[in-house]
Chains A and B, each alone.
Chain A
Amino acid sequence: MKKNNLVVAIIILVASLSLPVNAIAQEKKGPPPNGERKGPPPGKHSPEQTETLKDMKGYTIGDTATDFKLRNVDSAFFSLSDIKDAKGYIIVFTCNECPFAKMYEDRLIALHNEYAPKGYSVIAINTNVTGGNEKESFEAMQKRAAEKKLPYVYLEDKGQKIFPQYGALRTPHVFLLDKDLVVQYIGTIDDNAKSAQDVKVKYVESAIQALESGEKPDPNFTKAIGCPVKIN
C-alpha cells in the first residue's frame, strides 16, 4: 500500500516536471485546422494587374536571342560568338549583392565546371551595374570575380541594354540558349535557393540534359523569388 502511494506520488511529480514549455522558440504554424484550402472567393472578380509578367517584354521559349558585346571583368569585351564549339549558353542575369544571387554563386561555378567542357558555358551578366553604387560597380564585380575565382565570364550590362531585351525581371534569372541562340529554358536554377543540399529538382541541369538528348526541356519555364532588377 505504502509503496503504491509512493509510486503514484513520484509519477505525478515526474509528470509535472516534464510538461514542456518551450514557447520562446519561434512558433511554426502548420496548415489551418479545417484543412481546407481557401481559394478565390466565388463569383466575379477581375484582379487588376500592373506591370506584371504579362506586360513585360522579353523573350519567350522559341525566340532567338540577341548576341551582345559586353565588358568582362578581365576588361576585354565578350560576345557569345567568342565561344568555340558552343552547344548552348547558360546566360544568368545576376548581381553582386542580392542574397539570392550570392546563394547561387557556388552552384553556378559547379555548373560551369561540369558543362563548359561539354559545350555549355555559364555567362553571368550584372544587371545592376552603375557608376554610382559602389557595391555593384565594375570594380566591385572584378573584386567578386577574383574572390570567388569565377571560372565563367562576368559581364557588365552597361547602359542596361541587354537584360530588358531578354526580359530578365529578378536576380538571378537564367536564359538557356541552344547553339542557334534559341531560348529553350527560362527561369531559376533549382528548386531550393536557400539550401543546396535540399535541392530536389535541378531545372537548368535537366534542361541541358534534355537538349543533349535532342528533346525539349520540361519544365521550360520556372519562377523564383529574387531581387528586382533596378532600372537606373
Chain B
Amino acid sequence: MKNNMLFIVIFLLSSNVGFTHKNDFAKLESQFSSKEIIPIYNFDSLEHLLYTNANKTFIVNFWAMWCGPCIKELPLFQEYEKNNPNAEVLLVSLDFVEDIETKLKPFLKLKGITSKVVLLDDPDANVWINKIDSNWSGAIPFTIIFNNKSRSYHEGAFKDYIDLENKINNTINK
C-alpha cells in the first residue's frame, strides 16, 4: 500500500517534469526558426560555409554594423537573392557577440534584412584573413562569390546592383 502510494506520487511528479520540458521545447522551437538565431562561429567552424560542391551560386559577404559602406550595400544582396531564388547569400557579421540581442537583431529587423546571418567571433584575424584570401587587407566589406567551379574575391563595396550582378555573372560564367 505504502509502495503504491510512493510510486503514484513519484510517477505524478516525473510526468509533471516531463510536461514542463515539453512546454519549454515548444517555446524554444519557435525561437529556433532560422531567422531568429544568429549562430556564432570561429573561423575553423565557419570555413566549410565558404566552399561548395554544388553547382549553385553562393555570395558570402563580410560586414559589420559599424561599417558604413557595408550597411549601404546590404540591400543589394537582398535584391539579388530575391531575383535569383537559386542563389544563396550569407552575411557574415564581424560585430560583437555581446551586441547580438541588443543591437544586431534589432538592426536586421529595422533594415528588413532576411538573408542568412552568422557571426564570426575569432580574434586572431591576422591568421584567418589570409586563409580566406591572401590579397585581402582585412578591410570590410569583403565578398566571396563562388560555386563548385569558380571563385572570385571582392574587397570594397559594390557600386550598385548592376555592378554586383556583373561581377557575379563574370565569375559564374567563366
A residues lining the B interface (CB < 8 Å)? 2, 5-6, 9-10, 12-13, 16-17, 19, 21, 23-24, 26-32, 37-41, 43, 45, 47-54, 56, 97-99, 169-170, 187-188, 191-195, 198, 222-230
- Name the contact of B31 in the complex, choosing from A6, A21, A24, A227 (C-beta under 8 A): A24
B97 touches A26 (CB 8 A): yes
Residue of B at shortest CB range from A30? Answer: B45
A32→B50 CA distance, assembly (Å): 13
B137 contacts A by Cβ under 8 Å: yes
Min CB–CB distance B123 → chain A (angstroms): 4
A192 touches B126 (CB 8 A): no
Among the listed stretches B79-87, B108-116, B145-153, which one makes contact with chain A, having 4 or more residues with CB under 8 Å of it? Answer: B145-153
Q: Which residues of A contact B21 (CB under 8 A)?
A: 16, 19, 21
Q: 30 A-B pairs, CB-CB below 8 angstroms?
A: A9-B7, A9-B10, A19-B21, A23-B28, A26-B100, A29-B39, A37-B44, A39-B51, A40-B151, A41-B53, A47-B152, A48-B170, A49-B153, A50-B167, A51-B156, A52-B133, A52-B153, A52-B155, A97-B66, A98-B66, A99-B96, A187-B126, A188-B126, A193-B125, A222-B126, A223-B129, A223-B136, A225-B140, A227-B139, A230-B68
Contacts A45-B150, A227-B67, A228-B140 given; indicate if A54 touches B135 (C-beta within 8 A). yes
In angstroms, how far is the closest chain A Cβ from the Cβ of B142?
9
Kindly state whether residue B165 has any CB partner on chain A within 8 Å. no
Q: Which chain B positions have C-beta within 8 A of A192?
A: 123-124
Which residues from chain B sit less than 8 Å from chain A, CB to CB?
2-3, 6-7, 10, 13-14, 17-18, 21, 24-25, 28, 31-32, 37-41, 44-45, 47-48, 51, 53, 66-69, 94, 96-97, 100, 123-126, 129-130, 133, 135-141, 148-156, 167, 170-171
Q: Which chain A positions have C-beta within 8 A of B148? A: 41
B78 to chain A, nearest CB (A): 21
Min C-beta distance of B104 to chain A, whole Å: 11
From A53, A169, A225, B125 is in contact (CB under 8 Å) with: A225
Residues of A within 8 A of B48 (CB): 32, 38
5 tightest A-B contacts by CB? A170-B139, A52-B135, A48-B152, A169-B137, A192-B123
Contacts of B170 in A (CB 8 A): 48
Nearest chain-B residue to A23 (Cβ)?
B28
Q: For the complex, give the distance between the alpha carbons of A10 and B6 in Å.
A: 10
Tell me whether chain A's interface is mostly helix, strand or loop, or mixed: loop
Residues of chain A within 8 A (CB-CB) of B6 are 5-6, 9
Q: How far is the CA of A56 from the CA of B156 in the complex (A)?
A: 12
CA distance A41 to B139 in the complex (A): 25
Nearest Cβ distance between residue B127 and chain A, in whole angstroms?
8
Given contacts A32-B45, A52-B153, contact A16 B17 (CB under 8 A): yes
A99 touches B137 (CB 8 A): no
Given A191-B124, A195-B123, A227-B67, verify A31-B45 contact (CB < 8 Å): yes
Contact across chains for A52 and B17 when beta carbons are under 8 A apart: no
Q: Is the CB of B37 within 8 A of A41?
A: no
Q: State in angstroms the CA–CA spacing of A37 and B50 once bound together.
A: 11
B88 CB, min distance to chain A CBs, angstroms: 16
Tell me which of A27, A188, A194, A227 contacts B66 (CB under 8 A).
A227
